Chain A
Amino acid sequence: MTKARLKSLWVLHYDCGSCNGCDIEILAALTPKFDVERFGIVNIGDPKQADVLLVTGPANHRNQRVLRNLYDQMPKPKMVIAVGTCACTGGVFHNCPNVLGGIDKVIPVDVYVPGCAARPEQIIDGVVLAMEKLAGKAPQGEE
């Protein structure tokens, strides 16, 4: 089972309010140059079948509800990866009146991948870290 979880990771990608910079980098990871499918990672759009929630952009009053809803609709074991500085801490927007901050204000985050925009290699690194954490192998640190 652990091996299977390590080898098959289905991703739900949610743009929480991002400028799309990180989103483009995530999609780039799927392209032939980086090709995360060789790790068994598939961008499945359905939270009910996803293992990892990849979030970009900061949490605000409106989308916190959606974020929470998607998180709840994912069955365990699940991981949340905050991609990009905005998702980690709110980035340049963290003091704005409509912004709550990073997404960890709304849902528990397992891996933080900072960067603006986070590069595909960093994102892949983060996902691998999440995999190991899922399998119970990695230390409880952050990148």
Chain B
Amino acid sequence: MVDTMNLDYILAMLYVLAAPLMGGLMVGLDRKITARMQGRVGPPLLQPFYDVVKLWGKEPFISSRMQPILATGYLVFIFTGLTLLALGGDLLHILFTLTLADVCLIVSAYNSESPYSNLGGRRELLAMLSYEPIMVLTAMSIQIVTGSFLVSGIFRYGTPLLLVMPAAFVAQILVLVIDMKKSPYDVSGSGHAHQELVRGVYTEFSGYTMALVELGHWTKTVFILSLISLFWAHNLLFGAVLALALWFAAILADNVYPRLNWKSMLKTTWLTGFTLILANFVVLIVLEVI
């Protein structure tokens, strides 16, 4: 049931095209806020764009012929996921599309026979293993509550999701922290100025392939924030505020926590995610909401 009204189509397309720009600005803002928290001045807001343009102009080094294709795959599939989201598509399917994108990145990391890259790829897999259950459980919650996986169904549902599934909302902070590669869970390759396994999963990327991956990562962050803002679908502006609140919390966590290891990441995300969301179900059953 894809909404085909022309205006919505156009808005959705604009949103998707604007996503990397938004994402870049948010990364810039992120670095600025982080710097201020650390008592520094920090780079200009547009810094990520300068970074990407500069990367684009570097002499291209690649680790194999598969790498450019896989890097493109990462970007294109994230775009696909975001487009489907903007068009009100099926959330579970979109999540699997994101998995496809992630696997492109991971295979590319393994593909270059580099120890750092390989370990980074493995940790990225574990990161995916950590946040995927939470996202799938969230999608399932949405299905149980609204009757389908469709994002458009969330809009049709009477109550804001935040009030019905607060646990899933809280669990999203874990997803965000892992995706944004913030401490405590930046085990697979950290943001700028942090190093983990050199550049972890990004070690063997350079030049335009790195630029593609950066753009993909920005879009992915925008995707997750868009997903979070659906928790108050009735007033998307307020939803965006909620999402930004969690985003800020992630930055705060980054500056407070040290990096923890993957076992801790796995344990915390699974225990918290499963317990919270399933408990939410129980409550809903008891309250006869579902």
Chain A residues within CB distance 8 Å of chain B: 1, 3-5, 7-8, 10, 30, 32, 35, 37-40, 42-46, 48-49, 51, 73, 75-77
- A-chain residues with CB within 8 Å of residue B195 when the two chains form the complex: 43-45
Selected from B43, B50, B56, B206, the residue in CB contact (under 8 A) with A48 is: B206
- Nearest A-chain residue to B39, judged by Cβ: A32
How many interface contacts (CB-CB < 8 Å) are there between A and B?
Answer: 90
A–B Cβ pairs within 8 angstroms, 25 of them: A1-B56, A1-B57, A4-B50, A8-B51, A10-B51, A32-B38, A32-B39, A35-B35, A37-B42, A37-B43, A37-B193, A38-B35, A39-B43, A40-B43, A42-B193, A44-B192, A46-B206, A48-B204, A48-B205, A48-B207, A49-B210, A51-B54, A75-B59, A75-B207, A76-B58
Would you call A35 and B58 a contact (CB within 8 A)?
no
- For residues 249 through 274 of chain B, which have their beta carbon under 8 Å from a beta carbon of chain A? none
A8 in contact with B40 given A46-B198, A49-B55 (CB within 8 Å): no
Count residues on chain B whose CB falls below 8 Å from chain A CBs.
34
Q: Mark B31-51, 1 if CB is under 8 A from A, else 0.
A: 100010011111110010111
A8 in contact with B54 given A40-B47, A45-B195, A76-B59 (CB within 8 Å): yes
* A8–B55 CA distance with the chains assembled, in angstroms: 9
* A48–B57 CA distance with the chains assembled, in angstroms: 13
Any chain A CB within 8 A of the CB of B199? yes
* A39–B35 CA distance with the chains assembled, in angstroms: 13
Would you call B40 and A38 a contact (CB within 8 A)?
yes
Would you call B41 and A75 a contact (CB within 8 A)?
no
Any chain A CB within 8 A of the CB of B115? no
Q: Mark B49-81, 1 if CB is under 8 A from A, else 0.
A: 111011111111100000000000000000000
Would you call A7 and B50 a contact (CB within 8 A)?
yes
